[in-house]
């Protein structure tokens, strides 16, 4: 059974020349919680809050992109020190998040790495550093340095968030003046034209087959070091942190069929 979808609506703010994306992320947050429970992923409340912000940000970002775009963000945060991976695929309407909080070297500045693919075009990478705090702040810094346009995120209420992104000839004074309270009244103060409704769900797509293919090159080089005296190993999906058990027998069979 797939995880429940959420709906994200995008609007064009007339006269202000800005893109507005809004979504209620309660279902995605619930799916993220169940994913953590199923895979015994233990993190503290601050890390959980950061992961939720990453899910909201990458989803709203994807909602404003063409349909055939996939994007992956790897963000190193200095305070609190953690690495967050967030990705979205507009082809499938799926988003995921994963994070690391242990055994990380201290850093003075944050680093934001973005990889984007549209259709069959080559992947495009952009890497910028930032000093902003929080995940939304990191994304705003990335837009300013890499996209060379302003974007801002707002808390609409409960698990609802809004992204407002500048378009050509945007009213920057208006965008800079926005607050959470003003965004909640945006329908009354600005003419919004509905652009699209898109659905997203929390789903990685990792499975036994993909994990076998992922670990196969290592198995071919270092089978004994990988397994030792054991007949199975447990590995974590690098995209979502899900736990998978792989057997030596399955990898040997995979190696023979793909040789």
CATH number of the domain residue 236 falls in: 3.90.1280.10
Q: How many domains does the chain have?
A: 2
Residues 60 and 173 both lie in one domain? yes
Question: Which is nearest to 138 in space by CA: 130, 147, 126?
Answer: 130
Residues 34 and 159 both lie in one domain? yes
By percentage, how much of the chain surpasses pLDDT 90?
75
Assess whether pLDDT exceeds 80 at residue 229: yes
Confidence category of residue 207, pLDDT binned at 50, 70, 90: confident
- Domain span holding position 62: 6-202
Compute the distance between CA of residue 104 and CA of residue 82 in angstroms, rounded to an integer.
7
Q: Give the Cα-Cα-Cα angle 12, 13, 15 (nearest 5 degrees).
A: 125
* pLDDT tens, position by position, 115-174: 999 988 899 999 999 998 899 999 999 999 999 999 999 999 999 999 999 999 999 999
Assess whether pLDDT exceeds 90 at residue 211: no
Residues 251 and 212 both lie in one domain? yes
Residues 198 and 216 both lie in one domain? no
- Provide mean pLDDT across the span 33-55: 94
Kindly state whether residue 1 falls inside one of the protein's structural domains: no
Kindly state whether residue 236 falls inside one of the protein's structural domains: yes
Pairing mode, strands 160-166 and 18-24:
antiparallel
Kindly state whether residue 171 falls inside one of the protein's structural domains: yes
Question: Which is nearest to 182 in space by CA: 202, 207, 158, 162?
Answer: 162
In this predicted structure, what is the pLDDT of residue 238? Answer: 84
Compute the distance between CA of residue 225 and CA of residue 245 in angstroms, rounded to an integer.
17
Residues 190 and 251 both lie in one domain? no
Mean pLDDT for the chain?
93
Residue 119 φ then ψ, to 5°: 65, -130
Query: Tell me, what CATH number does 101's domain have?
Result: 3.55.30.10
Kindly state whether residue 175 falls inside one of the protein's structural domains: yes
Residues 227 and 143 both lie in one domain? no
Residues 52 and 90 both lie in one domain? yes
Q: What is the pTM of this model?
A: 0.90
Compute the distance between CA of residue 110 and CA of residue 84 in angstroms, rounded to an integer.
11
Residues 180 and 232 both lie in one domain? no
Residues 185 and 229 both lie in one domain? no
Confidence category of residue 54, pLDDT binned at 50, 70, 90: very high
Assess whether pLDDT exceeds 80 at residue 3: no
Assess whether pLDDT exceeds 70 at residue 100: yes
Assess whether pLDDT exceeds 60 at residue 1: no
């Amino acid at each position: 059974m797939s995880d429940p979808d959420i709906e994200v609506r995008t609007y064009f703010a007339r006269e202000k020349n800005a893109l507005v994306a809004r979504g209620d992320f309660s279902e995605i947050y619930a799916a993220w919680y169940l994913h953590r429970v199923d895979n015994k992923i233990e993190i503290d409340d601050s890390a959980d809050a950061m992961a939720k912000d990453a899910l909201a940000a990458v989803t709203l970002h994807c909602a404003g992109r063409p349909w055939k775009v996939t994007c992956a963000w790897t963000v190193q945060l200095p305070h609190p020190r953690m690495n967050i991976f967030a990705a979205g695929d507009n082809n499938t309407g799926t988003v995921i998040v994963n994070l690391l909080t242990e055994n990380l070297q201290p850093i003075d500045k944050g680093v934001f790495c973005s990889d984007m693919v549209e259709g069959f075009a080559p992947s495009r990478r952009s890497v910028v550093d930032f000093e902003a705090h929080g995940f939304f702040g990191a994304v705003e810094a990335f837009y300013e340095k890499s996209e060379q346009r302003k974007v801002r995120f707002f808390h609409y209420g409960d698990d609802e968030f809004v992204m407002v992104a500048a378009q050509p000839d945007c009213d920057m004074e208006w965008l800079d003046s926005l607050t959470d309270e003003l965004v909640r009244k945006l329908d009354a103060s600005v003419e919004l034209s509905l652009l699209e409704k898109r659905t997203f769900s929390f789903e990685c797509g990792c499975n036994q087959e993909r994990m076998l293919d992922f670990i196969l090159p290592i198995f071919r080089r270092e089978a004994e070091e990988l397994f030792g005296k054991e007949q199975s190993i447990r590995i974590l999906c690098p995209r979502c942190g899900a736990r998978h058990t792989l057997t030596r027998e399955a990898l040997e069979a995979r190696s023979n069929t793909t040789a």
